[in-house]
Amino acid sequence: MPSGKESAVIDDVDRRILHCLQVAPRAPFAVVAQVMGVSEQTVARRFRRLRADGLVRVVGLVNPSRLGQAGWGVRVRCRPSATLEIARALARRDDVGWVSIAAGGAEVVCALRSRSAADRDQLMLDQLPRTAQVHSIDAFAYLHIFRGSSTDDWRLGGQLLAQKDVETLKRTQPVVDDHVEELLPEDEVLVRELAVDGRATYAALASVTGWSEGRVTRRLSQLMSSGVIYLDIDFALREFGFTTQAFVSLTVPPAQLNDVGVALAENDHVMFVGATSGRSSLAASVAFASAEELYLFVTDGLGTLNGVGSVEITLIGTTIKQAGSLLVDGRLAPPRASGRRSA
């Protein structure tokens, strides 16, 4: 993977390919090519270059809400000298994502998606409190997600596709029908492989699980249509021009909470927004090309929404891990070698 000091060359074709994959992360390159009006070889070559350069990666993740658990946001205030060590330790956990160090250098912000209350409590009630360098922990549950963890998610560059093209892409993916599906012990190998490469072929998944391709296809469809497994796309955000990232907490009266959440979810700069427990009502992750753009978002965006009370902005200094990918020098680090072929 090239050093992050070497500027990436990303053009409109690259952005449209990635936009298509945000809509349908496992869409065949042939379908993406059809939608874009380019060759399948062009789509495949460009995506593989972007992935090899550490600019993008498709990951499969477990949605804790489908297993009876809430996702959590965690803010860990600690000694500045220990911040990086604590952030890296959190990032090594499979159930922790979006690990960042706040610009002040004394706080780590992360998302916790534990599959069980025992796993959650082991981290928040045992491991972190017993760490001498940790001063305090602020944890809050996500009660409702307005944007994030689905194919109706934040889009790189806003909306670049016609609605008919979006529908064409979505037809390649399982429809989420919210039926109940348990995650079984024999699913673990499949889950681990999807965390490495969310676009791993059915043949590759069959090879690593020891199942037939038919069984892999059926099981993955069951897990995805139930929402137990979802696909996310990690980006090296700074390489795409998003040099200013922040975590925003808002207080909103209950009567306006849904309206404000929906409005934020429609903003191109908001990558994630959810209603939370705790002192704040809403938490959002945002990305901009400059601090001035963030300022305008606060004044012209948040400032015009009825019901927004206090606003707390925490600038992100260093991102250690995104949804499933570690970052090194601003680029996505290669996942562990699986030896399997992906599309």
Question: Would you list the domain boundaries of the chain?
Answer: 241-317
Given a cut of 70, the residues of the chain with pLDDT beneath it are 1-7, 149-152, 158, 336-343
Most distant CA atoms of the chain, gap in Å: 57
Residue 95: predicted pLDDT: 93
> How much is the pTM?
0.88
Alpha-carbon distance of 4 to 57, in angstroms, equals 16
Residue 153: predicted pLDDT: 75
Residue 71: predicted pLDDT: 93
- Nearest CA-CA partner of 47 in 91, 17, 20: 17
Phi, psi of 237 (to 5 degrees): -60, -40
Question: Does residue 102 contact residue 43 with C-beta atoms inside 8 Å?
Answer: no
Residue 154: predicted pLDDT: 82
Class in CATH terms, 241-317: alpha beta
Distance of CA 105 to the CA centre of its chain: 23
Residue 113: predicted pLDDT: 93
The CA R_g of the chain, rounded to the nearest whole Å, is: 20
Question: Does residue 263 contact residue 305 with C-beta atoms inside 8 Å?
Answer: yes
Alpha-carbon distance of 187 to 215, in angstroms, equals 11
Alpha-carbon distance of 195 to 58, in angstroms, equals 8
Residue 160: predicted pLDDT: 76
- Nearest CA-CA partner of 198 in 325, 77, 90: 325
